[in-house]
């Protein structure tokens, strides 16, 4: 199963490193082409394949980790096709902290907007509820960190939950983009909520 990642910021780099370490073939793109991806990733991520955005969009699971304001650009070709899985890791910042401004979606939600921009993809929301450093920060012995994952299609959520588990996190699967996706969005009750669970229970 090929994993594609769009974005070489903190999220893209971290997930690329960790997924490659676990043996997944990982293709990564940014806005400037494969040579710039290789520069951004550095030699430490030797197993990752620097790629174009269109190559990444052909992967089985595509993780969208770009600024919210760039999402329409990135998905201007209609996003992944043929029911491929698009994991929306974005948050609806117009500008980042410390001068954070959020987009006013007027009752809409980020992932539903992503889903409309990528109508042939099965969209799953994940990796957005915690800062990436906190997501993989050291844990008290015998615990796992919960990561929420939500979507409308259980057969798309399941492989993303499996990836999350492979990354050492405890996936908690929620149903639907309109409902759970909103709860996971900035300002929602699951955004920035850090939960730990006993590792045996998680298993
Ligand atoms: N940072 C966190 O802790 C965190 C945690 C959870 C969720 N998030 C969310 O995850 C997303 C990514 O955050 P981030 O902090 O990793 O990085 P970011 O600064 O939001 O995104 C930077 C990356 O997006 C790429 N990009 C921008 N426009 C593009 C385009 N048109 N085509 C392809 N790539 C494009 C940039 O490529 P270039 O380098 O070529 O410009 C760069 O690699 C954001 O929506 C953020 O809100 C962040």
Calpha distance 89→7 (Å, rounded): 11
71 touches ligand 1 (CB under 6 Å)? no
Render pLDDT for 144-178 as a digit per residue (tens, 0 to 9): 999 999 999 999 999 999 999 999 999 999 999 99
Domain containing residue 140: CATH number: 3.40.50.720
Helix (H, G, I), strand (E, B) or coil at 108: coil
Give the residue numbers spanning the domain of 76: 3-202
- Residue whose Cα lies nearest atom 14 of ligand 1: it is 9
84 with 73: CB under 8 angstroms? no
DSSP-assigned beta bridge partners for residue 88: 64, 125
- Name which residue leads in pLDDT, 43 or 23: 23
Pocket flag, ligand 1, residue 136 (CB < 6 Å) = no
Residue corresponding to tokens 């209609």 = 78
pLDDT tens, residue by residue, 55-112? 999 999 999 999 999 999 999 999 999 999 999 999 999 999 999 999 999 999 999 9
CA–centroid distance, residue 196 to ligand 1 (Å): 26
Distance CA 146, CA 148 (A): 7
Can you give the pLDDT at residue 180?
A: 97
- Residue 89 Cβ inside 6 Å of ligand 1? The answer reads yes
Query: Distance between CA 29 and CA 13 in Å, rounded?
Result: 11
The count of domains in the chain is 1
**pTM of the predicted model as reported, rounded to 2 decimal places:** 0.98
């Amino acid at each position: 199963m090929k994993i594609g990642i769009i974005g070489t910021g903190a999220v893209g780099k971290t997930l690329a490193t960790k997924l490659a370490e676990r043996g997944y073939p990982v293709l990564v793109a940014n806005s400037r082409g494969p040579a710039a991806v290789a520069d951004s990733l550095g030699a430490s991520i030797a197993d990752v394949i620097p790629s174009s955005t269109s190559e990444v969009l052909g992967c089985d699971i595509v993780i969208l980790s770009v600024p919210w304001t760039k999402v329409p650009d990135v998905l201007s070709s209609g996003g992944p096709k043929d029911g491929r899985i698009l994991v929306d890791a974005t948050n609806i910042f117009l500008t980042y902290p410390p001068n954070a401004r959020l987009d006013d979606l007027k009752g809409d939600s980020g992932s539903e907007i992503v889903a409309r921009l990528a109508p042939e993809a099965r969209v799953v929301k994940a990796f957005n509820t915690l800062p990436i450093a906190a997501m993989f920060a050291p844990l008290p012995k015998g615990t796992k960190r919960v990561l929420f994952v939500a979507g409308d299609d259980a057969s798309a959520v399941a492989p993303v939950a499996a990836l999350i588990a492979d990354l050492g996190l405890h996936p908690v699967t929620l149903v639907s983009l309109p409902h759970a996706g909103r709860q996971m969005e900035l300002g929602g009750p699951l955004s920035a909520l850090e939960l730990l669970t006993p590792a045996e229970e998680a298993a």
